[in-house]
Amino acid sequence: MNVGGASAPRQFASYKEALAWLFRTQRFGIKLGLENIQRLLADLQVPSPEQRIVHVAGTNGKGSVCAMIDSVARAAGYRTGLFTSPHLVSFRERIQVDGELISEGEVVRGLTSIRELVSVWEPHPTFFEIVTALSLLHFRAHRCEIVVLETGMGGRFDATNAVTPAVSAITPIDYDHQKWLGESLTEIAAEKAGIIKPRAPVISAAQSEEVRCVIARKAIECEAPLTVVSEGYDDSPVALAGTHQKHNAAVAVSAWQALGLAFDHASIREGLGNVNWPARFQRWNERIVIDGAHNPSGARVAAATWRDAFGKKKAALVLGVLRDKETAALYRELAPIAEFVVLPRFRGERAMPPEELAKVVHATTPMTQHVVAGSCAEALSLAEKHSARVLVAGSLHLAGEILAHLRGTPSAFDECSQ
């Protein structure tokens, strides 16, 4: 993967060193614009022109839709590349070929080449631009036939939007990332609809009227055939829990159909029945459920899925959120199913201190008992002592740290703010 010139660049000494360099690029922040990523992809000569790309945006469910499309494509016999974010435990989760995580050695070699290429660039590429480029470099090396890309944030100026997809898919749009995407649903929808490309089919989940209008206008502008999926997929079982996952499955199946490949019901049945996407109402064991709900609409869905699964039984809620989220609104959605709330201190510079979160909990539900825990391990212990069932929610970063603890590999947790 030497793309930096005639002489081989100095390779990172280890995966840990390569990741340290990559994570330091987070200091460049989030830049809305495509000039840098377009230059980077052009210099790396990615993606390969023969690859069929499915590009997925939305507020909630886009990772699940990506995982479903990838799983169906693999069941149909295609070599797939899957790019998602954020990771839960290991950075390597973000980049997968045929369901296999990118290896540490491949991360080292890819980042070595990219570092050499961009060493004197001004402005320097951002963390997400580099990771997007790394994924496409990896997918080219492995000759992936179907590539599924999840937007990081928004769509119009997201680094993943520098590609030309065969199909675009948009999951339900709601409030999130208002600092970057706008305060109204119309503004947010306009950013996410930015992934729609000229004459490329677009699949949309059912949306509110104002969002639907934005997507429809953009599709007309781009002469892009638009399909709105309003019913859940019921033709075969979906491995992920919740009614919302049936709706995500319907979007995934429609996107797969729009690729124009042979439509094989057996592959769809196998792909949806075997899809694996951790921290989406994941039942770790008989007592613990982990859900990455991190905004009010996601929390509303998590609470509904809890009621579907457990009826009127309440949970010991292990809750952790990031500072830039709508904390009070998120907690209000989860509060009705919580009989006890544990607020752990978890890793991450964006994590809201549990003492601050405790004030929100008390102001919202003053009669609900809540405690602060010094760690995720302590939080789980307190929750299990108090209740027969535990729900972990509020942040994918928290979910990842909890999973690393439960797997007995806390040192494997790659802390990252993006």
Of 190, 200, 127, nearest to 163 by C-alpha is: 200
137 and 116 in a common domain: yes
Domain region containing 378: 282-412
152 and 57 in a common domain: yes
Encoding tokens for residue 273? Answer: 């029945």
Q: Around Cβ 10, how many Cβ atoms within 10 Å?
A: 9
Please indicate, yes or no, if residue 8 is contained in any of the structural domains. Answer: no
195 and 61 in a common domain: yes
Q: Is the peptide bond before 47 cis (omega within 30 degrees of 0)?
A: yes
pLDDT by 10s per residue, the chain, length 418: 444 444 567 899 999 999 999 999 988 777 668 999 999 999 999 999 999 999 999 999 999 999 999 999 999 999 999 999 999 999 999 999 999 999 999 999 999 999 999 999 999 999 999 999 999 999 999 999 999 999 998 899 999 999 999 999 999 999 877 777 888 999 999 999 999 999 999 999 999 999 999 999 999 999 999 999 999 999 999 999 999 999 999 999 999 999 999 878 999 999 999 999 999 999 999 999 999 999 999 999 999 999 999 999 999 999 999 998 899 999 999 999 999 999 999 998 899 999 999 999 999 999 999 999 999 999 999 999 999 999 999 999 999 999 999 999 998 999 887 8
207 and 60 in a common domain: yes
Among 274, 307, 326, which residue terminates a domain? 274
179 and 210 in a common domain: yes
Phi, psi of 294 (to 5 degrees): -135, 10
pTM of the full structure: 0.95
Among 274, 290, 311, which residue terminates a domain? 274
Looking up residue 236, the CATH number of its domain turns out to be: 3.40.1190.10
Q: Is the dihedral of CA 330, 291, 72, 150 positive or negative?
A: positive
196 and 139 in a common domain: yes
Query: Which value, in Å, is the radius of gyration of the alpha carbons in the chain?
Result: 21
Of 102, 113, 131, 127, nearest to 10 by C-alpha is: 113
Q: How open is the CA angle 145-151-157, to the nearest 5 degrees?
A: 115
Encoding tokens for residue 222? Answer: 């781009």
Specify the DSSP element, H or E, that contains 64: helix 62-75
Report the alpha-carbon distance of residue 416 to residue 418 in Å, rounded. Answer: 6
Instruction: Compute the half-sphere exposure of residue 178: CA atoms within 13 Å on the CB side of its CA.
Output: 11
Q: Is the dihedral of CA 87, 91, 95, 100 positive or negative?
A: negative
249 and 221 in a common domain: yes
Please indicate, yes or no, if residue 1 is contained in any of the structural domains. Answer: no
Encoding tokens for residue 48? Answer: 């390969």
Q: How open is the CA angle 102-93-143, to the nearest 5 degrees?
A: 40
Please indicate, yes or no, if residue 125 is contained in any of the structural domains. Answer: yes
Of 393, 253, 256, 265, nearest to 332 by C-alpha is: 393
Distance of CA 110 to the CA centre of its chain: 22
Of 253, 70, 200, nearest to 148 by C-alpha is: 70
Of 407, 350, 351, nearest to 375 by C-alpha is: 351
Report the alpha-carbon distance of residue 13 to residue 148 in Å, rounded. Answer: 31
161 and 28 in a common domain: yes
First CA to last CA distance, the chain: 25
294 and 270 in a common domain: no
Strand residues in 131-262 grouped as ranges (E): 146-150, 167-170, 202-205, 226-229
Domain count, the chain: 2
Distance of CA 324 to the CA centre of its chain: 17
Distances (CA, A) of 54 to 57, 148, 326: 10, 5, 30
Among 249, 274, 299, which residue terminates a domain? 274
26 and 42 in a common domain: yes
Q: Around Cβ 157, how many Cβ atoms within 10 Å?
A: 18
